[in-house]
Amino acid sequence: MDTENQLPLTESTFFILLSLAPGPRHGYAILKDVQALSDGRIRLSTGTLYGAIRRLLAQEWITHVDDPLPNNTDRQRKVYLLTDLGRRILEAEAARLRSVVAKASLRLPGEVP
């Protein structure tokens, strides 16, 4: 699959994939991590998060995995992991964003980090 055809990602999708880059997470941990990674700009509702997760599962950018952590509740947590395809798409989007920032820094010297 040509990852370039999947770009650009929505900001929410980018941060969900980025949240999963270090390793598996359950839904609530993704929700909180996206908020932290975006400096509070993105506050996903559970409905929005799980809609995105369903789409990412269908696209095979993420997958379900067994929960690696002990769970002291009766509810089984759903844990997600970035697939190789998902990681390639995340890396392609990060490269695209770096390129955008580099171009902006040429036009706005001193204003873009």
Residue 14 lies in a domain: yes
Q: What is the pLDDT of residues 46-95, one digit of tens each?
A: 999 999 999 999 999 999 998 766 666 656 788 999 999 999 999 999 99
Taking the C-alpha atoms of residue 62 and residue 80, their distance in angstroms, rounded to an integer, is 6
pTM: 0.89
Main-chain dihedrals φ then ψ at residue 63, nearest 5 degrees: -140, 160
**Tell me, what's the pLDDT at 43?**
96
Q: Packing angle between helix 84-107 and helix 11-20, nearest 10 degrees?
A: 120
The CATH code of the domain that includes 66 is: 1.10.10.10
Residue 55, amino acid = R
Question: Could you give the number of structural domains in the chain?
Answer: 1
Determine the structural domain holding residue 45 and report its residue range: 9-107
